[in-house]
Structure formats: C-alpha cells, structure tokens
Amino acid sequence: MIPTWWPVALSALLFGIGLFGLLSRRNAIAILMCIELMLNAANINLVAFSRAVTPQMLTGQVFAIFVMAIAAAEAAVGLAIVIALYRNRERIVVDEVDLLRW
C-alpha cells in the first residue's frame, strides 16, 4: 500500500518544479511545458485522493480525465498563441511581450 501522502508529496515537488519553470523560463513553449507539468501535479493529487476518499466511485479519476481534456485544449490554444506570436515577432521570448506594461 502506498500511503496517500507519498503521491501528494510527489505532486507538490512536481508542482514546485513546474512553478519555478513557469516563472523563470523565457521561451513561451517552455512555459507551456511547465504549465503542463503543474497540471500533471494536480492530476496526481486527484488520483491519490480518489484512492483515499472515494475508492468505489473514482471521482478523483473522473476529475483527472476532465483536467486532461482541459489541458489538451489549453495546450492547443496556447501553442496557437505562440505560433501567432512567432509569426508577428519572429521570436517567442516572453520577456519581450510586454504590451501590458504601464
């Protein structure tokens, strides 16, 4: 039996790594990858909770499937944005995308 806190701890670490990448990487595609890491961390949590809280109904696993669908959609749209950005700027360095600047 794998205690519940093991996957939760794994999830936390994976989330931290993803977060660091999200905050640090300059390349837009890399940032998207990090977001996917964070989403995976969340999914690990959901599956772990499912096993601990609703072992018969598998609610957490259902949620994980939904998150995957959303993540796929997010990845598609995000990459489309990156492509559009690239087409406009020839670069996809997020540092330089500062239209929201004051």
Partner 1 sequence: MLELTPLIPALPLAGSALIACFGGRLPGQGSYPAIATLAAGWLIALGILGQTLAHGAHPPHWERSIVWAPTGDTVLRMGLALDGLGLAMLLVVTTVSLLVHIYSVGYMHGDPRYPRFFSFLQLFSASMLMLVLADNLLLLYISWELVGLSSYLLIGFWFQKPEAMRAAKKAFIVTRLGDIGLFLGLLTLFNAVGSVAFQDIFAAVDAQLATTTVSFALPLIGKVVWPLAAVAAILIFFGAMGKSAQFPLHVWLPDAMEGPTPVSALIHAATMVAAGVYLVARMYPVFHYTDHGSLALTFVAGVGAVTALMAATIGLVMNDIKRVLAYSTVSQLGYMMMGLGVGGYTAGMFHLFTHAFFKAGLFLGSGSVIHGTGTQDIREMGGLARRMPQTYWTFVLATAALAGIFPFAGFWSKDEILLDAWLNMRWVFYVGLAGGVLTAFYMGRLVIKTFLGEPRQPDIHAHESPAVMTTPLWILGFLSITAGLINTPWNPVFHHYVSFAQAEAPPFSLAIAAAGTAAAILGLAGALAVYRWELVSASTLRRMFRPLYVLFSNKWYVDEILYALLVKPLFSVCRAAFAFDRWIVDGLVNLVGWTGLVLSRIQGWLDRWVVDGLVNAVGYAVRGAGWLLTRLQTGLAQTNVLLAFAGLVALVWLLVYR
Partner 2 sequence: MNVTWEQAAFLAFGALTLSAALLVVFSRNLFHAALWLAATFTGVACIYVTLHAEFVAMSQMIVYVGAVAVLMLFAVFLTEDVVGQKSRRLRSAWVLALPVAVAVCAILLRWFSGYPWKPPVSDHATDTAGVIGIAFIQRYLFAFELTSVILLTALIGAILLAREEKA
Least distance between partner 2 and beta carbon 101 (Å):
15
Cα–Cα distance between 4 and 58 in angstroms, integer? Answer: 15
Applying CB under 8 A, which part among 18-26, 41-49, 74-82, 84-92 lies near partner 1?
Answer: 18-26
Asked if 69 interacts with partner 1 (CB under 8 A), we say: no
Quick check: 85 binds partner 1 (CB under 8 A)? Answer: no
Kindly state the smallest distance separating residue 57's Cβ from partner 2, in Å: 7
Cα separation, 25 vs 45, in Å, equals 25
Angle at 82 between CA 81 and CA 84, to 5 degrees: 65
101 lies in the site for partner 2, by CB under 8 A: no
- Using rule CB under 8 A, residue 94 touches partner 1: yes
Site size toward partner 1, by CB under 8 A: 13
Q: Which residues contact 85 (CB under 8 A, 6 or more apart)?
A: 28, 92, 97
Tokens 């993540």 identify what position? 71
43 φ/ψ sector (left φ>0, alpha ψ -120 to 50, else beta)? alpha
Pick one of 19, 67, 75, 85: the residue that binds partner 1 (CB under 8 A). 19
Closer CB to partner 2, 5 or 102, in the complex: 5
